[in-house]
Amino acid sequence: MSSSKYTLEIKELSKSYGETHALTSLNLKIVSGQVTGIIGANGAGKTTLVKMISGEEGFDSGEIYLNQERFVPTEDSSSVSIVHQEVKLFPNLTVAENLMIHVEDNQKGLLRPQISSSIEDLASELGLTEYLNRELQSCSLVISQLTEIAKALLTKNNAHIFLFDEPNSALSNEESEELFSSMEGLAKKGNIVVFITHRISELVKIAERVVVVRDGKVAADYKKNKFDEQVLSNELTVGYSVDNLVETTSKRVTEETKVNKKSLHSLEAWNSDDKKLSDINISVSSHEIVGLFGVEGSGVRELIQNIDLDIEDYGSYSTYLPAERTKSLFRLESIKNNLVIRTETDNLAKKSGLMKFSYLADQAKKLVNKFSIRTNDSFLPITSLSGGNQQKVAIASAIVKDSKILLLEEPTRGVDIASKKDIYDMLRAYVKKGSACIVMCTEFPEIYELVDRCVVVSNGGIAGEVHNRDFKSIENLAKELTLLSSGTS
């Protein structure tokens, strides 16, 4: 291995988003010549750290040094190359044009610059040659991800810090192996290479060192031969206890009421059209909350979205709410309008076509009280509410629609503890009446406290299923879910 050419030192780095502390006085030194892995649970601060190093966002306090000289990423971004989990490219440009933007040569300014030999060589290496002249928006997610990787690799003559944030979430095993080979090659040439992933087995395979980030700080630091899949799995589940729960009583006990559960929907040996999901077997019955869990890139998001589409095909009644509140709410409308927007047409207007304004205002007021939405005036803009209360409005409007199945992506993403409790109560009351809920969760406490059973997704298939009643502690549940999702159980 080559000797270290570069040393990146991060001192007392802090970053907050409102009341959420993403990084708290984080200290870390990274040397070149090796692949440094970073691992942590969802929300631990990994991606925030990458954004700070790359200069995509500024930090609140702290300092970064490169070879003992102060380094300001926002002013010297050319030193850093990053591969994002979510590609940041131009969909209306071809693959080649997306790559040309990031190559400095004497063709800039030409109407139709020629594809350089460096782009052609890299395209051949990554299997992109036949896609070079295609618009990115017509290409698959895999091609987009490979283009993002190629963009980073093309800057290797200028950059000496390479950051890979879940870079292979959409890649096949063979494509991932090629990427890992490139990462190791960059490290051997004396560059700093940082690899963030949820896939424990990959870190064990290529990382010389693994740093564990927890609650915005470095919690552990392992050198080669000092870590394996079991060690890292344990690190990911450290600290989960009743203190992490919204309801600080002992373990939530699912009400085993004697109700006749009715099957509402199922998929049997189902495959998605794009082949990303295969041999899916899953069912949901009345009176239950089913959780879906998987690391990013496992196919778990695609699964909940496809379940919704499949339910629609069978003419059943379901409502789907994506993780982003901006896609569930009408940002320019009032709280009242957002609450009643999904109400049946007969309840919205009279036969004459005139809106039932008084009725809708009364309904909105009742919903505000019923679901503990904290506002004194439902006629205020939806943006006047906190994030947690906005989320309660989105879920309340879906419940009012009276669907038999409610599908939610990360229903408490970015909300406070009080709002989480309210949302859990909303969903339990909803299924108690005979409906069902499918929830994609990314946090162990939410799975432990909210769902009745959890289906684990890995590599586009079902890796297993756990029932909450079988676990007496959140630690044991978290460990089992981690092992299943990483393919080591």
pLDDT digits (tens, 9 = 90+) for 463-483: 999 998 898 888 889 889 988
Q: Please give the structure tokens belonging to residue 185.
A: 């090659």
Within 8 A by CB and 6+ apart from 170, the residues are: 141, 142, 144, 145, 297
Domains present along the chain, CATH in parentheses: 7-236 (3.40.50.300), 244-485 (3.40.50.300)
DSSP 58: -
% of the chain exceeding 70 in pLDDT = 84
- pLDDT value for 375: 83
Per-residue pLDDT band at 485 (split at 50, 70, 90): confident
Question: Would you say residue 325 has pLDDT above 80?
Answer: no
Question: Would you say residue 203 has pLDDT above 50?
Answer: yes
Lowest mean pLDDT among 7-11, 20-24, 201-205: 20-24
How much is the average pLDDT of 301-322?
79
Within 8 A by CB and 6+ apart from 85, the residues are: 47, 165, 166, 167, 169, 296, 297
Q: Which residue has the higher pLDDT, 413 or 47?
A: 47
Per-residue pLDDT band at 254 (split at 50, 70, 90): very low
Helix (H) or strand (E) holding 283: strand 280-285
CB 444 within 8 A of CB 474: yes
Q: Please give the structure tokens belonging to residue 275.
A: 């082949």
CB 159 within 8 A of CB 66: no
Per-residue pLDDT band at 221 (split at 50, 70, 90): very high
- pLDDT value for 1: 41
Q: How far apart are CA 434 and CA 243, in angstroms?
A: 31
Q: Which residue has the higher pLDDT, 368 or 313?
A: 368
- pLDDT value for 306: 86
Quote helix, strand, coil % in the chain, to nearest 5.
Answer: 35, 25, 40
Q: Which amino acid is at 241?
A: S
Q: What is the DSSP string of 106-123?
A: TTTT-SSPPPPHHHHHHH
Helix (H, G, I), strand (E, B) or coil at 105: coil
How much is the average pLDDT of 332-338?
86
Residue 121, classified by CB atoms within 10 Å of its CB into exposed (0-12), middle (13-18) or buried (19+), is exposed
How much is the average pLDDT of 254-262?
60
Question: Would you say residue 4 has pLDDT above 50?
Answer: yes
Please give the sequence-ordered ranges of beta strands (E in DSSP) within 157-275, or none if there are none: 161-165, 192-196, 209-214, 217-223, 263-270
Over the chain, what is the mean pLDDT? 82
- The conformational region for residue 365 under phi > 0 = left, psi -120 to 50 = alpha, else beta, is alpha
CB atoms within 10 A of CB 148: 22
Q: Which residue has the higher pLDDT, 347 or 32?
A: 32
| Locus of tokens 């997306």 | 98
How much is the average pLDDT of 289-297?
87
Over the stretch 87-115, which tens digit does the pLDDT of each residue have? 778 889 999 998 888 665 545 555 556 78
How much is the average pLDDT of 276-285?
87
How much is the average pLDDT of 216-239?
87
Q: Which residue has the higher pLDDT, 406 or 384?
A: 406
Question: Would you say residue 487 has pLDDT above 80?
Answer: no
Q: Which residue has the higher pLDDT, 59 or 249?
A: 59
Lowest mean pLDDT among 185-189, 361-365, 414-418, 456-460: 414-418
Q: How far apart are CA 93 and CA 135, in angstroms?
A: 5
- pLDDT value for 251: 38
Per-residue pLDDT band at 250 (split at 50, 70, 90): very low
Question: Would you say residue 399 has pLDDT above 60?
Answer: yes
- pLDDT value for 151: 85
- pLDDT value for 248: 40
Q: Which residue has the higher pLDDT, 277 or 316?
A: 277
Most confidently modeled of 93-102, 164-173, 426-435?
426-435
Lowest mean pLDDT among 122-131, 231-240, 406-415: 231-240
Q: Which residue has the higher pLDDT, 28 or 128?
A: 28
Q: Which amino acid is at 58?
A: G
Question: Would you say residue 244 has pLDDT above 70?
Answer: no
- pLDDT value for 420: 82
Q: How far apart are CA 164 and CA 203, in angstroms?
A: 12
Lowest mean pLDDT among 35-39, 107-111, 161-165, 264-268: 107-111
